[in-house]
Amino acid sequence: EAGVAQSPRYKIIEKRQSVAFWCNPISGHATLYWYQQILGQGPKLLIQFQNNGVVDDSQLPKDRFSAERLKGVDSTLKIQPAKLEDSAVYLCASSLAAATNEKLFFGSGTQLSVL
Amino acid sequence: DAKTTQPNSMESNEEEPVHLPCNHSTISGTDYIHWYRQLPSQGPEYVIHGLTSNVNNRMASLAIAEDRKSSTLILHRATLRDAAVYYCILRDRLDYGGSQGNLIFGKGTKLSVKP
């Protein structure tokens, strides 16, 4: 079974530039999550989708971050403009459903460096 | 979500058992105990979860205290590939709010395995 695919693996940009990350979840998984992991900390949820609808985006800095999941499959996360403090690993995860007993499957993440 | 407390780091010798503790004194009767681990440069991966009874799978065992205020993840024979950060997370199985399914990570326990 193919896992969660993310690209690019690494990205280096200058502050105030824009960047986009792509995620392809496991086939058939209705729920998709984007997490931000700053060095030395645990992952922090940014946004959760159920199919193509947003379930929770309370932690998403909406002035600069946006995410979409068209057709309820692939998803993109965008930062515009980027700040130095956005340097982190951005992880995408998916699960079969949103039930609290479901396992989450994570991709390897995109490591973003903002200079 | 209720909080968990884990040691920052632990060391183990290869091929010896490892017991990773987690305290969750404010756990509610409907909270599941989940464990995930994160190997270097990878996204977190599911290890095991339980509610009241001890649980075993091919990766590990989960021992839950009778009062459920603490639990222990047991790796029966540590290998070098088990070196990772281990996260203990509580999820309320009756969480019908908008944040169903998402995981709230702490800092976890960094496990080092010596040859």
State pLDDT tens for residues B33-47.
Answer: 999 999 999 999 999
Contact call for residues A72 and A51 (beta carbons, < 8 A):
yes
> Among residues of chain B, what percentage have pLDDT more than 90?
74
Q: Does B43 touch chain A (CB under 8 A)?
A: yes
- Phi then psi dihedrals of residue A112, to 5 deg: -105, 130
Name the one residue in this structure whose structure tokens are 């490892």. Answer: B18
Would you state the pLDDT for residue A87? 98
- CA torsion sign for B4, B11, A43, B35 is negative
Name the one residue in this structure whose structure tokens are 């009874």. Answer: B53
Residue A82 C-alpha, separation from nearest chain B C-alpha, in angstroms = 23
Name the residue facing B107 among A41, A98, A108 (closest C-beta).
A41
* A positions 50-89 inside 8 Å of B (CB): 55-56, 58
Helix (H, G, I), strand (E, B) or coil at A63: coil
- Phi then psi dihedrals of residue B29, to 5 deg: -65, -15
A70, two tokens: 């068209």
More reliable by pLDDT, A14 or B97: A14
Helix (H, G, I), strand (E, B) or coil at A62: coil
Give strand pairing partners of A13: A114
Would you state the pLDDT for residue B42? 95
Would you state the pLDDT for residue B81? 95
Q: How far apart are CA A61 and CA A33, in angstroms?
A: 15
- Residue B18's Cβ-count burial label (10 Å; 0-12, 13-18, 19+) is buried
DSSP run (H or E) holding A91: strand A88-95
Residue B3 half-sphere exposure toward CB, CA atoms < 13 A: 3
